[in-house]
Structure 1
């Protein structure tokens, strides 16, 4: 399994958790998805657990950059994609920010709309710019 597929599985898991309104990893079976190797399961669980633990912080960032959109108005798929990308950008140092952004855009194109991929690109790009301290 590739990291892209692992991100998709994490997105589906977070989407399910969002729909259920419950971010308890004990109530989710990540291994239902395909045949996962140990490394893939660990990466997916790390993403899901990390997003769940940092949910308030991540959501505050999404609200800051989503302009006039409230989290409740964002499509749940887009919200799950954004949460994963921001978590990666904040906490996983071996993944370049641009990779997290590109992967989020590709997942949005596959599971959401063309407008969603543009919105996600703009939001993550603005956040990356702030994180890197550049204004260009």
Structure 2
């Protein structure tokens, strides 16, 4: 299974945790069994979810700053979690090129959200990519 499928699974896990209050492990169990996700994709999915959750406060501050203090919870839940996950990849994962994280996020937005999501997601991630030194730091607790 590809990293794209792992990202799709991670998005669904994040959505379940935030919107339905599902425990993280139960969300993994459901998604992995429902979609028959392989071992490597499960590992990458867990890394994305755990890294995104661990750094959510910092990532949310960046989203607020870049979106001109727009209320995070007025954003579509799917868009918010796609942006969070992509920012985690861009800021903390050396193995994922920025342009790959951005392109994957745009595609997730097109597949799981609205027609305009791709532009919105690209705007926020593109700004961060152009100003990486302003935002990049080592991951807390690692």
TM-score by length of 2: 0.86
| Conserved 8 A contact 2:13-2:24 | no
Deviation track 1:77-104 (CA, whole Å, cap 9, x = no partner) reads: 0011001100000111111100100000
Identify the residue that residue 64 of structure 1 maps to in structure 2. 65
In the TM superposition, residue 9 of structure 1 has moved relative to its aligned partner by 0.8
Identify the residue that residue 101 of structure 1 maps to in structure 2. 102
TM-score by length of 1: 0.89
RMSD of equivalent CA atoms: 1.6
In the TM superposition, residue 20 of structure 1 has moved relative to its aligned partner by 2.7
Write the distance in 1 (CA, Å) between the matches of 2:60 and 2:129: 15
Q: Would you say 1:26 and 2:30 are equivalent positions?
A: no
Question: How do 1:41-120 residues align onto structure 2 when only pairs under 5 Å count?
Answer: 41-120=42-121
Write the distance in 1 (CA, Å) between the matches of 2:133 and 2:10: 26
Query: Which sections of structure 1, spanning at least 5 residues, go unmatched?
Result: none
Write the distance in 2 (CA, Å) between the matches of 1:103 and 1:26: 25
Give the count of matched residue pairs. Answer: 132
Query: Which sections of structure 2, spanning at least 5 residues, go unmatched?
Result: 135-142
